Structure 1
Amino acid sequence: MLITKGQVIMLPPLLSYVTFNRLGLTVQNLTSILESSDDFEMHIIDNNSTDGTWQYIQSLKDSRIMSKARITLNYGQIYALNINLLKRRPDQYFITVDNDVYIETKDWISRFLKVFETFPEVGLLGVQRGLPYTDQLPPVTPKVKDSVFFLELDNTTPNIEQNYIPGSLMCLRPELINEIGYWCEENYYGDIELSNRVNNYTSFKSGFMTNISIKMPQTMECSTCPYNSQCTFNKITETCFSNYNKLYKNEEFKRNYKWKFEETITDLNSGARPVYCASANDIASSIDHIYNSEWAMENFNYYINNAN
């Protein structure tokens, strides 16, 4: 289905949803997305969950779900996210939602698109992380036009690891994607690296939505879980959350491989590498653009060896 904004007819955005264990959160939070009053084309990837997540995903019936897939080895979230990004049609906005995000606003996609429509210079929009996180906003500048409002990220702050748009709920303009390509598989630094590329090496602006409400629960009591009666864990010594915590390796990865991110920034600053990032999932992109396959394979193997 096509959706109309003013006089412009556009494709529904592609919504990427990558799951990895924490079945209770996936059931709760994916339900909140499917209760949205907006249109979208959802592609779900299960990153080799071991807690029944894939069985649950297979049971979902919604005409907006375009594909469901299970990767039999967890290569890390960025690898899976880029698989979904490759499915995007040229004029399609791209939304990524983490499986710990509970969206309370029903017309949240329309609100994203309204800001993009009003501010053509904006390429990337996100939402401040919700409770239980209490992050302070990085430096921002309020922007308003025709009663449409957002907070533009100030890219002059020297601490680039604090000055970024969280990847928990993020929407990208198609013209920006054409310029930057994929999430970087070479350094695997995720939203911090992506925001830095957009903020400092493209002509596009990025910012925060203020009228989309989310929560980000990291756990729940088994007795309140919507999937409790079908859960196979004993709930005393093991739950879907303890199972997830054993296999969650993102923070450990960043501690070990932050140097790749730092070298990427150095190369961007010197002009040694372009803003476009290729992907192993898109062979043509990795042939036509700079792509450090050795770095990327080391990142993939880290997750294969530690998160499965």
Structure 2
Amino acid sequence: MAVHDTEENKRTELTDRTLECLLETVNLSRHRIFIIDNDSCKASKDVIQYHMEMVNKRTAKLSGRNLLITSDRNLGTAKAINHALRYRQHGELVIKMDNDVIIHKDGWVDEMEDVMRRMPQIGILGLKRPDLQESTYAIQLDYRSKLLEVPHEPGQRWRVVEECKHVMGTCTMINPALLDKIGYFYQMEGLYGFDDSLLCVRSQVAGFINCFLHGIDIDHIDPGNTAYSDWKNKHAGDMLVEYARTETAYRNGTKDIYYGGE
């Protein structure tokens, strides 16, 4: 999780609620947490420190599993996440999560992990926000999806995933086999914009499918309508042409899908 909270963008409460949610819903004896602090304000640094102390207390017998990485500047989301990816172990599933989401189900990481193990052809498995357009009956082909039954053996839970072109990066699990093929997140010029979308493109080019996992409700808790959110939207809009050019280059093979990171 990359965090860039400032006194101006007033996201400290969002980070607090998100981390509290993780403490309540994730089995910390099985999963570890990496937070990359992109030069956040003191209030958020205090919130992050508090929650990391709670995490470490609960996993005292597993010292060194969780990590807080700090930066003295805002690296941008993709570059920040890349710092954490360098610590992944061989075959380890990775979740990239935003700091403004609430997940309404205990054990959701284990469910995602179960699906990923049963469907190794999935490159990116996301949790679906209620405001997204992807559906089986979407008129626009970019948002048209299809439902797939996850293979199961007697005694295993029934699972359903929704295959689609683009998985919104609010909370996504990434197949380690995909990361072995494509490397790290690619960040275009600028701090924000389309790194999740480009990851989905690279996943498809690498021969994987992208899916949402049904049955786990999440909410995006950033209300928007702030100067910061308006800036991010404008910043992304300014990069649309570069995104389209980069996507085309990935798909026609003129740009290597493997990226070594920075």
The Cα RMSD (Å) is 2.2
Counterpart for residue 297 of structure 1: none
- How far the C-alpha of 1:176 sits from its partner, in A, is 0.8
Unaligned 5+ residue runs, structure 2? Answer: 6-10, 60-64, 136-142
- How far the C-alpha of 1:150 sits from its partner, in A, is 2.7
Alignment of 1:169-180 (within 5 A): 169-180=171-182
Aligned equivalents of 1:106 and 1:210: distance in 2? 14
Alignment of 1:97-246 (within 5 A): 97-130=97-130, 133=131, 135-137=133-135, 138-144=143-149, 145-146=151-152, 147-154=157-164, 163-186=165-188, 188-199=193-204, 201-219=205-223, 245-246=227-228
Larger radius of gyration: 1
Select 2:39's aligned residue among 31, 39, 48: 48
Counterpart for residue 240 of structure 2: 258
Aligned equivalents of 1:35 and 1:248: distance in 2? 31
Counterpart for residue 29 of structure 1: 18
Counterpart for residue 18 of structure 1: 2
- How far the C-alpha of 1:248 sits from its partner, in A, is 6.7
Query: Any conservation in 2 of the 1:54–1:70 contact (CA below 8 Å)?
Result: no
Q: Structure 1 residues 148, 116: CA separation in 2 closer, same or farther (over 3 Å shift)?
A: farther
Q: Structure 1 residues 183, 198: CA separation in 2 closer, same or farther (over 3 Å shift)?
A: same
Query: Any conservation in 2 of the 1:123–1:176 contact (CA below 8 Å)?
Result: yes
Between stretches 169-178 and 271-280, larger displacement belongs to 271-280
Aligned equivalents of 1:177 and 1:259: distance in 2? 26
Query: Any conservation in 2 of the 1:118–1:148 contact (CA below 8 Å)?
Result: no
Q: Structure 1 residues 149, 92: CA separation in 2 closer, same or farther (over 3 Å shift)?
A: same
Aligned equivalents of 1:246 and 1:209: distance in 2? 30
- How far the C-alpha of 1:111 sits from its partner, in A, is 0.6
Counterpart for residue 93 of structure 2: 93
- How far the C-alpha of 1:51 sits from its partner, in A, is 5.4
SS of 1:52's partner is helix
1:177-226: per-residue Cα shift (whole Å, max 9, x none)?
10111111236522111112212x0121221101211111114xxxxxxx
Aligned equivalents of 2:68 and 2:26: distance in 1? 21
- How far the C-alpha of 1:67 sits from its partner, in A, is 1.1
Aligned equivalents of 1:95 and 1:78: distance in 2? 13
SS of 1:70's partner is strand
- How far the C-alpha of 1:115 sits from its partner, in A, is 0.7
Equivalent pairs, count: 231
TM-score (norm 1): 0.69
SS of 1:191's partner is helix
Query: Any conservation in 1 of the 2:148–2:163 contact (CA below 8 Å)?
Result: no
Q: Structure 1 residues 57, 269: CA separation in 2 closer, same or farther (over 3 Å shift)?
A: closer
Counterpart for residue 298 of structure 1: none
Q: Structure 1 residues 118, 127: CA separation in 2 closer, same or farther (over 3 Å shift)?
A: same
Is 1:279 aligned to 2:261, yes or no?
A: yes
TM-score (norm 2): 0.80
Unaligned 5+ residue runs, structure 1? Answer: 1-16, 155-162, 220-240, 281-308
